[in-house]
Amino acid sequence: MTAAQKLEKASGIFFFSGFLLSKLQYLPFPLVSAIFRFISLGIYFLAYGSWSIACLLHPDHNEHHHKWYGFAQIKEQLLFSSFVGLVATVLSVAAVLVPVLFPPAAWLFLIGNVLWAIGEYHKLKNPPQSKEDFSYTQQKNYLYYAITSCAISLVTAISATLIVAFPPLTIPITIFSLLLYVGLGALAFEYWLNSKTSENRQSIKGSYHQMSDSLGPTISPKPSNSLEPNFTKDIFNKSEDKVSEIELIPINTHEESDHEYGFQIPTSSL
């Protein structure tokens, strides 16, 4: 596993941990809520930072210019997403002191997740050639995870905007948002889990063919006209071991008896 792959894997763990902890900020305890908010933002900062470095270390890959998602390379799209996420994280920390910054930070998180989903869709349609263990099924599930994360970010952005615009509706908006978070979060977890546990078709391709060859029908040997086994043919192939044949041979000599023809049976010694 390369350094870029290790950083990318670590960032994925950080992102999921930050997502779970960020939902604990809605607990009805101000001090506990603030603690979980800062912890989740710190984990998000580590996630975006490691992801940015991983994107820089990834090799170049030709994009699909003729497709709508091919406006940049995959690594560049993911790098843009990580940069926007870093800015959104900094704004979220500042929003603790200046609450009016919550909506801009939430919308920046949404923009970053949309860029991330586009990059994952680009990877699905144009797989990197350097990734030999690429799995279409795993990538498709991971794309669904990214899309579901975009939906969660959209709910967060809308609710943050409505809370700032209509402070008296904070409680009902928060409760409704939490219900959506639970459903979308469970769906996102399912897609993320499938992207890690689903079978890699390409990796089992070789073992499948080996099993098919071992369990399949064997190739029968070519039929032989010889009565003896092939590996003993040279041992038994002698003139005295041939089978006797019976031939009907006309006798040209005319005998004085009443019979005009006789039978001769040539035999070989056994």
CA 56 and chain centroid, separation = 22
- Domain spans of the chain? 96-200
Angle at the Cα of 80 from the Cα atoms of 131 and 161, rounded to 5 degrees = 130
Distance CA 102, CA 91 (A): 7
Distance CA 171, CA 103 (A): 17
pLDDT band at 63 (very low <50, low <70, confident <90, very high): confident
Report the pLDDT value the prediction gives residue 199, as an integer from 0 to 100.
62
Distance CA 106, CA 165 (A): 14
Distance CA 239, CA 234 (A): 12
Tell me the average pLDDT across 76-80.
94
Reported pTM: 0.71
The residue behind tokens 């041992």 is 235
What's the pLDDT tens digit per position in 106-158?
Answer: 999 999 999 999 999 999 999 887 677 788 999 999 999 999 999 999 999 99
CB-count exposure of residue 113 (10 Å: 0-12, 13-18, 19+): buried
Distance CA 112, CA 83 (A): 8
DSSP code, position 201: T
